[in-house]
Amino acid sequence: MVWAAWNTKHRKYIDQDWITKPTIFATVAIKYFPKTGSLLELGSGQGQDSKYFTELGYKVLATDFSDYALSKIPNIKTQVVDLSLPLPFSSNSFDIVYSHLALHYFDKKRTQELFDEIFNFLKPGGIFATLTNTIEDREISTGTKIEDEYYQIGDIQKRFFSIDSMRKFTSKFETLLLDNHGETHKDEIKTLIRYIGKKHE
């Protein structure tokens, strides 16, 4: 089952030196956040960014598909959430919705639904920040194309965003940052798609 595969990944991640420090994207995104407020993290993993945001004073809800990963996040509210299904949150609930490498596993229909749901969850003036896969990733060549920018890679389906496709998926937002200069502590790729947008007041 897919959840079991993610639990296995997180058991491997727990021994990595990067798992306890905030991601590079989190330290960039924070500059666009309001000074205080409620923050929903989608696909939080073992909570390195949720912990970082909590320490800075945000009221964080960390969510992930992996119950194992969430069990490694102490003193932060957590919730198991399957991003492939409609998300269980109310309109105008959060000041910030944040996601690091978790929104690129879905077909075009579900991806657009996700971005629209996120827009709905945000309060007026709220911030959405996400880092995603890039079409410049060499992993594409190892997969089978399902639809435009969406591939079967081993047992997992992955979307590889371009700046143009990210712009289209986030058309409801006011764009504050959109480029392909994203990077992580654990990979050599330095062309990940960074997006930060704002819901109109």
- pLDDT per residue, tens digit, the chain (201 aa), is 454 555 555 455 555 655 578 999 999 999 999 999 999 999 999 899 999 999 999 999 999 998 888 998 989 999 999 999 999 999 999 999 999 999 999 999 999 999 999 999 999 999 999 999 999 999 999 999 999 999 999 888 999 999 999 999 999 999 999 999 999 988 788 999 999 999 998
Instruction: State both tokens at 148.
Output: 């435009």
**CA gap 39, 41 in Å, rounded:** 6
pLDDT computed for residue 3 by the predictor: 47
Report the domain count for the chain: 1
CA distances from 62 to 11, 81, 160, 172 (A): 18, 9, 24, 24
pLDDT computed for residue 188 by the predictor: 80
pLDDT computed for residue 4 by the predictor: 53
pLDDT computed for residue 11 by the predictor: 52
- Which residue range forms the structural domain that includes residue 134? 2-198
- Alpha helices for the chain (secondary structure H): 2-13, 24-29, 48-55, 67-70, 108-121, 163-169
pLDDT computed for residue 1 by the predictor: 42
pLDDT computed for residue 15 by the predictor: 56
pLDDT computed for residue 148 by the predictor: 97
Question: What type of residue sits at position 28?
Answer: V
Q: How many CB atoms lie within 10 A of CB 137?
A: 20
CATH number, residue 92: 3.40.50.150
CA distances from 22 to 40, 61, 106, 111 (A): 16, 16, 25, 26
pLDDT computed for residue 174 by the predictor: 98
Cβ neighbourhood burial of 102 (10 Å; 0-12, 13-18, 19+): buried
Q: Are 196 and 129 in contact (CB under 8 A)?
A: yes
Q: How many CB atoms lie within 10 A of CB 56?
A: 15
pLDDT computed for residue 192 by the predictor: 97
- For β-strands 156-159 and 150-153, DSSP reports them as antiparallel
Question: 58 by DSSP, 3-state: which?
Answer: coil
pLDDT computed for residue 18 by the predictor: 53
Q: Are 112 and 185 in contact (CB under 8 A)?
A: no
Which residue in 184, 181, 129 sits closest to 18, CA to CA?
184
pTM of the model: 0.91
